[in-house]
Each structure stands twice: as C-alpha cells, then as structure tokens.
Amino acid sequence: MTISQRLKIVPVRRLEHLTFNLCNFNFFRKSERGKAMLFFGNSGSLSVLIAVPYILGCELAFLRDERYFVRLKKGR
C-alpha cells in the first residue's frame, strides 16, 4: 500500500485549525521545559507573548482561506 493510498486530505473548521496550532505550540514549549533559546536568550514565558500573537495573526491573515489536515485512511 503506497502513502497516497493511506492518506486523505480533509477540510477542517477554523477553530479546529487554531486549536491544533495552539496545542502544537504548547507541546513543544513543554517539551523544551523552558530551555529553548531564542535570538535574545532563554524563552521561558516570553515565548507565549511571541508565539500566541503570531498564531492568532496567521489565523486572521488566512481567515478566508480553506484549511486542510492530512489524515490516515481507516482500513485494514
């Protein structure tokens, strides 16, 4: 079975996409345990002040665009 046979592209709602982006940010923030280095030093809680507005800004910029996820097809 090839990759294209196992994957499908599905449209998602804007809120789902925003939630997905925020969850990804939170996962990586926690996995770094605050030790990620930004260009101005240790990220700590400052990353929240940078990343969250960035994610919200991207969502606003692409407000009218369709959003898609790639999902595994069910089967075998």
- pLDDT class of 28 with cuts at 50, 70, 90: confident
Task: State the CB neighbour count (10 A cutoff) for residue 17.
Answer: 20
- How far is Cα 51 from Cα 56, in angstroms, rounded to an integer? 9
Q: What is the mean pLDDT of residues 16-43?
A: 69
Residue 43 DSSP label: -
Classify burial at 65, counting beta carbons within 10 Å of its beta carbon; exposed 0-12, middle 13-18, buried 19 or more.
Answer: exposed
Strands in the chain per DSSP E: 7-12, 37-38, 41-42, 67-72
The per-residue pLDDT for range 54-76, each reduced to its tens digit, is 888 888 888 888 888 888 887 65
Domain ranges, residue 40: 3-72
The first and second tokens of residue 25, run together, are 């940010």
Q: How many domains does the chain have?
A: 1
Mean of per-residue pLDDT scores for the chain: 76
pLDDT surpassing 80 at residue 26: no
Q: For residues 36 and 54, which has the higher predicted lDDT (pLDDT)?
A: 54
Q: What is the pTM of this model?
A: 0.59
